[in-house]
Amino acid sequence: MMGIYLIRFVPRLAHFRIPELLSVAASLGVDEQSLDLRPAVAECSTELVECEGPEDPEWREDTYGTYGPSLLQFARFESDALAVEVARRCVLVRHLARVIGAGQMYELCLADALERWRTEPWLKAIADDPHMSWRCRMDAMGCAYANEQKVEKYHVFGEILKGIKGKVDLKRPKMQLYVFEGRSPLKLKLMHRDRSPRRKLKSSSSSLDDALGHELQVAASGGHDESAASFDEIEGDSDDDASDGSRGAVSQPPQPDVVVFGVYLSRGFHDAARIFDVSKRCLMSTTSMEGSMAVIMANMSSMRRQNEVVCDPFCGSASLLLSAAYLGAQVLGFDIDDTSLSGRSINDKRNRLGELPFPCPLGNAVCTITKNFEQLGLREGPLDLAVMDCGSALRDGMLDVVLTDPPYGLREGAFEQTDNQLVAAKDIILSLLEFSARQLRPGGRLVYFLPVLRHEYCDENVPSHPALKLLFNAEQPLSINFSRRLMVLERL
């Protein structure tokens, strides 16, 4: 029986959330129909509070896609293990929890949870297992509750909590019961506008865990009494909802639009920014893709198996290939300019200056793309890095993915190999589409960024190819006037 899961996304890149999730799920054999994504607020709330899309004036004011209607989603998976595997690959997934009960108010959520708690076998097994240690945690979008307020909300579910035979373990529990308050994007935006400097609703010297342990230990853990660090110290995630627009929490937060009680399972791929930090690489260039975005692009290529062949025909310093290789692909890259491929630019700068203006992780070693791979423990490195034009022929159908960020002619010029002349950005995109149509196997994907003027953009002007089907068109706003769109196409 498929379970229902709450997916909470990070409050940025609103247009990328669902495409990344669907692509990662597809790579693991889960299709969109079986995933059955539904907006959590619209599912539980009877009020018209959900921000529906670009036609809504509140949406248009959200220039950088912080909120958006996809911030909270219900999904279905066949197992917890599969749901966790999908979540841990997604950069834009913040938290994943299996739903026990959900409703617009606490009373409705409790009624739904009690019904499932009494009837579903997996919940009865949890309640009757004396070795299942547990604790509670809470997240609330748009506000930060003090510890005693969190405990009050836990007490709403006291009938369930008191029936659990396992002991409370505040440090290393086997299970975390999750209480979550969600609010619509429109409410979050209105709260954000009227925000004062951040403060707790109430101050308290007692920690959440101490309060919870003392309140419920007699019924739930047979007298278990253990002092522990505060919730924030244990989780390493202080005020978890801060970046959802809860900075400067209001004194009287509006009523939640959805309340969820469930079992907390996993975080998303939150280490991507640290692992792929461009500033810590041996070799970088002016056009190196930001680390998190490189992983998002690799995820949206939907690599279905290990050792798929991924090509970047405009690889530069190979930032995109680095993320693809980290996820298990075999990578190869081309570029018309050998400066980045050979690491000559950074090594020449060292020779001229005597030392680099920034620290090099490898000291005085020669900086190359291969060294970047070695920094991440990828000893095999790329299959090949060659100086060639993307129009040069490879064997047709040999690639599984084309993953690239074509030159826009802004930071770096776009050149053609034959006469070393500047080429218009549109011609570069058309060449890329032709290259991908020839070299991709059926079902393979092309993932690339297209720069646009926001006020002039229309879908009809996007370059296309009869052999490639558009799957996703996700906008990343760069300013009020400019943006770039991540185009994901599939070879027919």
Residue 134 has pLDDT above 70, yes or no: yes
389: phi then psi, degrees, rounded to nearest 5: -80, 145
* Residues 162, 223 share a domain: yes
Pair (164, 278) in one structural domain: no
254 HSE (CA, 13 A, CB side):
19
Residue type, 246: S
pLDDT greater at residue 326 or residue 206: 326
- Among 107-111, 139-143, 199-203, 272-276, where is mean pLDDT lowest? 199-203
Strand partners, 311: 332, 402
Given this model, what pLDDT does residue 339 score? 74
Looking up tokens 């950088």 gives 64
Structure-model confidence comparison of residues 422 and 252, the more confident one: 252
Do 258 and 279 share a domain, yes or no? no
**Residues 284 and 418 grouped into a single domain:** yes
pLDDT confidence of residue 390: 66
- Alpha-carbon distance 98 to 80, whole Å? 8
**Which has the closest alpha carbon to 165: 215, 213, 124, 214?**
124
Average pLDDT for 177-200? 72
Work out the percent of the chain whose per-residue pLDDT is above 90. Answer: 54
pLDDT reading at 61 higher than 50:
no
Q: How many structural domains are present in the chain?
A: 2
pLDDT-based confidence at 242, cuts 50/70/90? very low
* Span 378-390, average pLDDT: 86
Query: What would the mean pLDDT of 324-328 be, rounded to a whole number?
Result: 95
pLDDT of residue 361: 53
Region 373-392 average pLDDT:
85
Domain end: 218, 250, 267, which one?
Answer: 267
CATH at residue 293: 3.40.50.150
Statement to judge: residues 314 and 384 lie in one domain: yes
379: confidence class by pLDDT, cuts 50, 70, 90 = confident
Give the per-residue pLDDT at 423: 55
Per-chain mean pLDDT for the chain: 80
| pLDDT category of residue 392 using cuts at 50, 70 and 90 | low
Average pLDDT over residues 183-197: 68
Domain encompassing residue 469 = 272-491
Query: 282 and 258: one domain?
Result: no
Contact 77, 83 (CB under 8 A): yes
pLDDT exceeds cutoff 60 at 362:
no
Residues 216 and 191 in one domain: yes
**Are 133 and 59 part of one and the same domain?**
yes
Residue type, 368: T
Give residue 485's pLDDT band: very low, low, confident or very high (50, 70, 90).
very high
278 with 255, same domain: the answer is no
pTM: 0.83
- The yes-or-no verdict on residue 175 having pLDDT over 80 is yes
| Paired sense of beta strands 3-9 and 93-103, if any | antiparallel
| Cα–Cα distance measured from residue 70 to residue 452, given in angstroms and rounded to the nearest whole number | 23
Are residues 114 and 209 both part of a single domain?
A: yes
- What would the pLDDT profile of 3-46 be if each residue is shown by its tens digit? 999 999 998 899 999 999 999 999 999 999 999 999 998 777 65
The per-residue pLDDT for 211 is: 34
Q: Tell me the C-alpha distance between 308 and 348, whole Å.
A: 35
Looking at residue 396, what is its pLDDT? 86
CA atoms within 13 A on the CB side of 380: 12
Residue 349 pLDDT: 46
Question: Do 338 and 231 reside in the same domain of the chain?
Answer: no
Last residue of a domain, one of 213, 244, 267: 267
Tell me which of 213, 240, 267 is where a domain ends. 267
- With a CB cutoff of 8 Å and minimum separation 6, the contacts of 12 are 64, 65, 66, 92
Distance in angstroms (rounded) separating the CA atoms of residues 251 and 268: 30
Contact in structure between 440 and 400 (CB atoms under 8 Å)? yes
Least confident range from 316-320, 321-325, 471-475: namely: 316-320
For residue 185, is pLDDT > 80? no
The answer to whether residues 299 and 245 belong to one domain is no
Q: In the predicted model, is pLDDT for residue 56 greater than 70? A: no
Q: Give me the amino acid identity at 154.
A: Y
More confident residue, 369 or 444: 444
* pLDDT of res. 360: 56
Q: Is residue 355 predicted with pLDDT exceeding 60?
A: no
pLDDT at residue 391 tops 90:
no
pLDDT at residue 200, rounded to an integer? 46
**How much of the chain exceeds pLDDT 70, in percent?**
73
Q: What's the pLDDT band for 353 if we cut at 50, 70, 90?
A: very low
**Residue 315: predicted pLDDT:** 92
Least reliable range by pLDDT among 120-129, 209-218, 249-258: 209-218
